[in-house]
Amino acid sequence: MAGKLSFSYSKMTLYKECPQKYKFRYILKIPEKPKYYFAFGTALHKVMEYLYSSLKPPFPPLETVLAFFKTDWESSTYEEKGYPSKLKEQEGYLEGVKIIEAYYKKHLKDELSPLATEFRTTVDIDGLSVIGIVDRIDYLGEGKVSIVDYKTGKKINREPDQLMMYQKLMKGNKELENIVKTRYPQADGIEVSNMLFYHLPSLDSQTFEPASEEEIKEFWSRVLAVAADIKAGNFAPDPGETKCRFCDYKDMCPVWKLSPSEMQELQAQPAEKESAKNPMDILSDKVDAYGKALREVKNLEREIIAAMQKEDINRHFGKEFEVSLSKEETLDFTDRQKVVEILKEFNLLGKTLVPTLGKIKALLESDFIKPEQRDALLKLARYSTQYKLNCSKTEE
């Protein structure tokens, strides 16, 4: 591939996920199927841009903002957005309305006038034409800026590579310098003071200090290594159970035409790459793998308990393991304030130190409490049955 390579953070992420997938998407230009979470995120990003479209605060009226969101949302069908049904699309719309209303209420009085929204820049550097799109850039005074990135997924994640890509592209950026100079002529150059991830669904944000020069240097060497592989046409597939399962290109991928032994050999190759990874990246991968495994275990546990209850059995055998079902009665208190009032009335609050559920249960089982006091507390209790699944190796 001769000339400057068009590059971005998202392209680097996709190549690291699977070079073969990168080839399908960016070399062969085969589009992926629409994803509802992308459509949802894009719609909210458009609303954020609309909110700050005026050079002077305040926001446009909330009714106007919601009308803008509705018009944009209805400009495509649920299939085009990637939703499985019209009902799911409607749920997405209502969730969007809820997020917009909450954000509007929280930030209406901020009187914030960003330097730029959806700031798109292209920087030619080291043989790459790097594209960056920043959701929002705020001016902090004295030439300092804050880079804001909106997140719309289920949780907010710190993504060091994305932060460092922003920092690299903003340093000495002439387009941004011109915007700053136009609005603040006294400013002498620009400096990225911090980077902020804003999670719209929770209205939570995380602010990060800029990376050090050494960190940026190490990051950029990794960028150039990825770019070199792309230019060299290195698009060997990097299969994995989870990523392959949800890949839109699975049917056309050469991996799935291999024999079992060839597949096993190919899947062993990523282990060699693992040793070259940053130790913190390896730890992050293991944390994610652990979390996914726990989630899968909990799902299986719920399914097994439901099946055993349906068949009215409390023990079952697999080929290697067996499970048994036990249950216990538990109690909880929905009105904790009322519980505290009763404890105060009976001079029992001091016996619990902090009136947690565990402390209250211990108090009910102790000799300190009188029958009438126990009865008064138990009237506030809510009983439920919990099932516990026990698993052990089947004896041979």
Note if the bond before 58 is cis, omega within 30 degrees.
yes
> Which are the contacts of 385, defined by CB distance < 8 A and separation ≥ 6?
327, 328, 329, 330
Lowest-pLDDT choice from 178-192, 200-214, 260-274, 375-389: 260-274
pLDDT tens track for 106-118 = 999 988 889 999 9
pLDDT tens track for 223-241 = 999 999 999 999 998 888 7
Ordered by start, the domain boundaries in the chain are 26-110, 237-274, 312-393
Instruction: Fill in the DSSP letter of residue 388.
Output: E
Alpha-carbon torsion (338, 340, 343, 347), positive or negative:
negative
270-276-277-279 Cα dihedral, nearest 10 degrees:
130
pLDDT above 50: residue 150? yes
Threshold 0.85, pTM exceeds: no
Please report the pLDDT score of residue 1 as a whole number: 45
Alpha-carbon torsion (335, 341, 344, 346), positive or negative:
negative
- 39 in helix, strand or coil? helix
**CA nearest neighbour of 120 among 131, 112, 128:** 131
* Start-to-end Cα distance in the chain: 61
Alpha-carbon torsion (343, 345, 351, 354), positive or negative:
positive
Lowest-pLDDT choice from 8-22, 38-52, 94-108, 147-161: 147-161
Please report the pLDDT score of residue 304 as a whole number: 86
Please report the pLDDT score of residue 32 as a whole number: 92
pLDDT tens track for 348-367 = 666 554 566 677 777 777 87
Give mean pLDDT, residues 300-326. 80
Please report the pLDDT score of residue 313 as a whole number: 80
Given pLDDT bands bounded at 50, 70 and 90, which one contains residue 337? confident
Give mean pLDDT, residues 173-184. 91
Lowest-pLDDT choice from 119-128, 178-187, 252-261: 252-261
Question: What's the half-sphere exposure (Cβ side, CA atoms, 13 Å) at 57?
Answer: 11
